[in-house]
Structure 1
Amino acid sequence: MKHHALFARAATVLATTAALWWPAQASNVEPTANAALSGQQTVGSSLFRHWGFEVYQATLHAGAAFNAQRFEQQRFGLALQYRRAFKGSDIAQRSIDEMQAIAPLSPQQASEWLATMQRAFPDVKAGDELLGVHVPGSGARFYFNGQLRATVDDPAFSARFFGIWLSPGTSAPQLRTALIGASAR
């Protein structure tokens, strides 16, 4: 029985790794940020500051009928253009912390999602852009400076990750208001 559980855990890790590192070959995954945002419009944008320091310019792209109250059910892109350098591992840790602040994760889920984001998020410098695209029922796609970097085939992860900015429980309600603009129906 122990070997079966160990095998199942190894298979899960392998599947997650494969989903992250073989995304560009899938025919339904856009290879560039421009292609991923085709047909989307800017919903809102705002500069995010933390302790007075400029961190990133956040911009939400979505279809004309985007409804922020049902963000998990709609396709959209969230672009973060960084104003300073950060390590990818620090971005991943901060993301887990923000997800936990909205609603607790199990230790196993937090560990798995942290590892996923550590692989997906590169180190950034001022001017770099990370774009996350939420694909309902599928998961998330991440683009770095316009090029596909990773996919995460986990709808629960995607909804929780983008909830950092779009959930009513966000730690940055003013940023959320600026991003969702008139879509706050």
Structure 2
Amino acid sequence: MRTLRAALISFLLLAGSTLAEAVPEALREGENGWRQWGSGEMSWWGLALYRATLWVAAPPGGELPADVPTALRLQYRRDIPRDRLVQSSLDEMRRLGADEAQLARWQGELQRVLPDVREGETIVGVHYPGQGAAFYHGDRRRGEIADADFARLFFAIWLDRRSRSPALRAALLQGPAL
């Protein structure tokens, strides 16, 4: 676990972006490879919840590579308490196939890495396929969850074909901005 955590941190420091204010500073420090892939709004019963933007650490191309890091940036349109973010995430991961033992393990981890959010604030989750995920609130690193199954199911909330918001999924997966 400690080795995987160290690998995640090392990779995080090596990954980079030239896109100011788009992804956390830690992603901007390394080589230039992060590109915006797609963006869209999430609303529920007509209430705007957040704007989601998907970033990909990949060379130009038309399809999202399955094995490259991705960063999902959520800019919140309203205040949402941490407990609501955690419970919504767990409910969606359950719907996408997580079992109760996994969800019990992940609940505390989500409580640790997800904050209460205020309107205008951002959370960025970075998915490292086969390794886990790292989380930021604004530019502040909140922590990582070194569990590949967690990361796969967490990001599936937005990117899986079974997503509750097919329109948002389509907007995120539309392809690189030209």
Does TM-score exceed 0.5, indicating one fold?
yes
Structure-2 residue corresponding to 1:33: 24
Q: Offset at 1:26? A: 4.2
Q: Does the aligned pair in 2 maintain the 1:140–1:154 contact within 8 Å?
A: yes
Runs of 4+ more than 4 Å apart: none
1:43-54 mapped onto 2 (5 Å cutoff): 43-54=37-48
Structure-1 residue corresponding to 2:145: 152
Q: Which moved more, 1:74-83 or 1:57-66?
A: 57-66
Q: Does the aligned pair in 2 maintain the 1:66–1:74 contact within 8 Å?
A: no
Residue 79 in structure 1 maps to residue 67 in structure 2: no
Output the TM-score relative to the length of structure 1.
0.78
Q: Does the aligned pair in 2 maintain the 1:34–1:146 contact within 8 Å?
A: yes
Q: Offset at 1:143? A: 0.8
Distance in 2 between residues matched to 1:27 and 1:42, nearest whole Å: 22
Residue 141 in structure 1 maps to residue 134 in structure 2: yes
Structure-2 residue corresponding to 1:119: 112
Q: Secondary structure of the residue that 2:105 maps to in structure 1?
A: helix
Give the letter aligned to residue 140 of structure 1: A
Distance in 2 between residues matched to 1:53 and 1:34, nearest whole Å: 30
Distance in 1 between residues matched to 2:77 and 2:165, nearest whole Å: 18
CA shift digits 1:150-185 (9 cap, x unpaired) = 1111111101100000001111111000000037xx
CA RMSD after TM alignment? 2.5
> Greater share of helix residues, 1 or 2?
1
Distance in 2 between residues matched to 1:94 and 1:172, nearest whole Å: 14
Task: Find the partner of 1:61 among 45, 49, 55.
Answer: 55
Q: Secondary structure of the residue that 2:156 maps to in structure 1?
A: helix
Structure with the greater relative contact order (CA < 8 A, sep ≥ 6): 1 or 2?
1
Extract unaligned runs of 5+ from structure 2: 15-22
Distance in 2 between residues matched to 1:173 and 1:181, nearest whole Å: 12
If you compute each CA radius of gyration, which structure gives the higher value, 1 or 2?
1
Q: Offset at 1:145? A: 0.4
Q: Secondary structure of the residue that 1:176 maps to in structure 2?
A: helix
What is the percent sequence identity of the aligned residues? 32
Aligned length: 161
Structure-2 residue corresponding to 1:5: none
Q: Offset at 1:33? A: 1.2
